[in-house]
A and B are shown apart, each in its own frame.
Chain A
């Protein structure tokens, strides 16, 4: 406990001192530029760099999902950003060789959002408990279904096999089965369509809703689904019980307008911010990068707090105003967030 307190204090001092510390070339390599979740992480990373004088950031990602291009970008970042790299890669195993090559060369790598490749020298993983995200979503949705009601809940997923999404589904299913065993779970169904574009996702959900007019609720761990369901409600006038994840602007508006009961935000901005603050503290002040899993938490969004979140999401500055204090609080209290 004493060691953790001292480490927290040193980290806080280092992070503060980094504002006038030596130059650092760092990079953030991520999955694609078009998914809201990854954009939030990039913004959090950028804010952390902005707060540090002398830090140069390379932020690289393909515009569409292209794992081999991300690998190529990571390898280039290993040349340009010797002070360290934050990696967000949904299929980490593809990166085993390039990440190991980077860490063997002394370049620190921190993984966020999805687990790093095993035995690649990555010691810190910053994310949220995605199983708990799923549990939170299910608990909130079940509040809208009277006790003893029989029927089915449909789960859709635009990213089958993606570890964070699969974990959220695991949490949803766990809570539904434990607390409402009489409710049947249908899915997870693949709601990606041909390309995963909003129109494709909308088309798939349209079909699912038509085929299951008596479903009790519609849930999804991925970002585009809740917005698609809200649009279906707007267009058809049919009231649905909807829960989703992430902070798509149209989904937030859907919560405000009553089309979506709950969104759970994995607070991606915080992941990027915290990971980069730790990396820069190491690069500029030689603070040790902690080892383990850093749980940066999540946020349940309902009609009660959606207005605050919408304001927060309006701009980079608004995000920073709301979330920097949250990030700094976590950084000052490692023991509450870091587990081995």
Chain B
């Protein structure tokens, strides 16, 4: 059709009536969540043990499990940030121990326990900063760097404590009674954990910092190219992990009422396992704080379950490893299925 000079003619377009998009059901939305597998695994394991041993479902036992899981859960929450940006910090268990022992030594020397706690928190951040400096400026992979600081910080624990347990602490001070006390029927550390989950989840999902962490994990080169200050975010994340390790250390000191130089051994691997079981993929780019916490709780349920089933003590490590493998495999199957469904829908 010939047109006079001016705007080109638009083809005739027929608009179809609007079709409302089907909103996925809450169950479908839950199943798509990163923490779906670990949630199902945790509930499933609790029910399995509870059906066979009903005393496992008593409130006291379940509260004990969560309380014991608090330390690794907090470490895992910090690691989730690092792992989502493709970093790792194996020294968190040593930071946990060093801040715990340092606070104990300060208290034993007469410092007010609350001030000793503040000093421990600052120490945790310092230890995290040191990790970041080694990784960032010496360009050593975080796996290797923090493997070294794992030994260094633990070595400092033994050096400062003389290899001895630090006892004789002021147990009647509110630091010990409040931090290990109960609030509305639950131990305070559990409430603290809930608050941390909320704050860290918001930080990860809704703040510029969390956005940067995830973008760096998704594509470090693209993140740097787009102006994200990768070095600064890395330092912040390592310091956050150190700070959270110190929080866990202080809760540990309050609960255990003494500082043992071996405390926390094995926590790093448990925390990494918890993060992965919880649904944070090793490839980075995404993280789930509730998943990491649930992963830690799942591991503690396994430890408790071994006692209920009277698994021979020499088989306990095998059993724990098997459960981790099953949980991670389940998560992988669910993710692969989800990817397959997404691909077929598109």
Interface residues of A (CB under 8 A from B): 27, 30, 33, 42, 58-69, 71-73, 75-77, 79-80, 91, 93-94, 96-97, 160-161, 190
Instruction: Determine if B260 and A67 form an interchain contact, defined as CB atoms under 8 angstroms apart.
Output: yes
Binary CB contact string for chain B from 248 to 264 against chain A (1 if under 8 A, 0 otherwise):
00001001111011111
> Known: A33-B316, A91-B262. Is A79-B58 also a contact (CB below 8 A)?
yes
Q: How far is the CB of B107 from chain A (nearest CB, A)?
A: 14
Residues in B whose Cβ lies below 8 Å from that of A58:
307, 310
> Known: A33-B316, A73-B307, A76-B307. Is A94-B58 also a contact (CB below 8 A)?
no
Instruction: Determine if A68 and B165 form an interchain contact, defined as CB atoms under 8 angstroms apart.
Output: no
Given contacts A66-B266, A75-B61, A76-B307, 10 further A-B contacts (CB under 8 A): A58-B310, A64-B317, A65-B265, A72-B64, A77-B307, A79-B61, A79-B308, A94-B260, A94-B263, A96-B257
* Of listed A58, A61, A65, residue having the most chain B CB within 10 A: A58
Q: How far is the CB of B50 from chain A (nearest CB, A)?
A: 12
Closest A residue, CB atoms, query B63: A75
Instruction: Determine if B300 and A72 form an interchain contact, defined as CB atoms under 8 angstroms apart.
Output: yes
**CA of A42 to CA of B164, assembled, Å:** 26
Q: Is B55 an interface residue (CB 8 A)?
A: yes
Instruction: Determine if A161 and B307 form an interchain contact, defined as CB atoms under 8 angstroms apart.
Output: no
Within 8 A of A (CB), among B290-308: 300, 303-304, 306-308
Q: Is B71 an interface residue (CB 8 A)?
A: yes
Residues in A whose Cβ lies below 8 Å from that of B161:
161
Q: How far is the CB of A92 from chain B (nearest CB, A)?
A: 9
**CA of A96 to CA of B304, assembled, Å:** 19
Q: How far is the CB of B65 from chain A (nearest CB, A)?
A: 8
Q: Is B163 an interface residue (CB 8 A)?
A: yes
Interface bracket on B: 35 or more
Instruction: Determine if A91 and B61 form an interchain contact, defined as CB atoms under 8 angstroms apart.
Output: no
> Known: A64-B266, A73-B303, A93-B256. Is A161-B314 also a contact (CB below 8 A)?
no
Residues in B whose Cβ lies below 8 Å from that of A69:
266, 303
Closest A residue, CB atoms, query B252: A68
**CA of A93 to CA of B262, assembled, Å:** 13
Instruction: Determine if A76 and B308 form an interchain contact, defined as CB atoms under 8 angstroms apart.
Output: yes
Residues in B whose Cβ lies below 8 Å from that of A97:
180, 255-257
Instruction: Determine if A80 and B314 form an interchain contact, defined as CB atoms under 8 angstroms apart.
Output: no
Q: How far is the CB of B146 from chain A (nearest CB, A)?
A: 17
* Of listed A33, A61, A75, residue having the most chain B CB within 10 A: A75
**CA of A97 to CA of B63, assembled, Å:** 14
Within the complex, which residue of A61, A96, A161 is in contact with B163, where a contact is CB–CB below 8 Å?
A161
Instruction: Determine if B313 and A80 form an interchain contact, defined as CB atoms under 8 angstroms apart.
Output: no
Residues in A whose Cβ lies below 8 Å from that of B8:
none
Instruction: Determine if B262 and A60 form an interchain contact, defined as CB atoms under 8 angstroms apart.
Output: no
Instruction: Determine if A60 and B56 form an interchain contact, defined as CB atoms under 8 angstroms apart.
Output: no
Closest A residue, CB atoms, query B256: A94
Residues in A whose Cβ lies below 8 Å from that of B55:
79-80
**CA of A190 to CA of B261, assembled, Å:** 14
Instruction: Determine if A93 and B313 form an interchain contact, defined as CB atoms under 8 angstroms apart.
Output: no
Within the complex, which residue of B180, B263, B314, B317 is in contact with A67, where a contact is CB–CB below 8 Å?
B263
Closest A residue, CB atoms, query B71: A68
Instruction: Determine if A62 and B317 form an interchain contact, defined as CB atoms under 8 angstroms apart.
Output: yes
Instruction: Determine if B264 and A68 form an interchain contact, defined as CB atoms under 8 angstroms apart.
Output: yes
Closest B residue, CB atoms, query A119: B171
Instruction: Determine if B257 and A93 form an interchain contact, defined as CB atoms under 8 angstroms apart.
Output: yes
Q: Is B68 an interface residue (CB 8 A)?
A: yes
Within the complex, which residue of B163, B255, B304, B317 is in contact with A160, where a contact is CB–CB below 8 Å?
B163
A–B Cβ pairs within 8 angstroms, 13 of them: A60-B316, A61-B316, A65-B262, A67-B263, A67-B265, A68-B263, A68-B264, A72-B304, A75-B304, A94-B260, A160-B158, A161-B162, A190-B163
Instruction: Determine if A33 and B313 form an interchain contact, defined as CB atoms under 8 angstroms apart.
Output: yes
**CA of A59 to CA of B65, assembled, Å:** 19
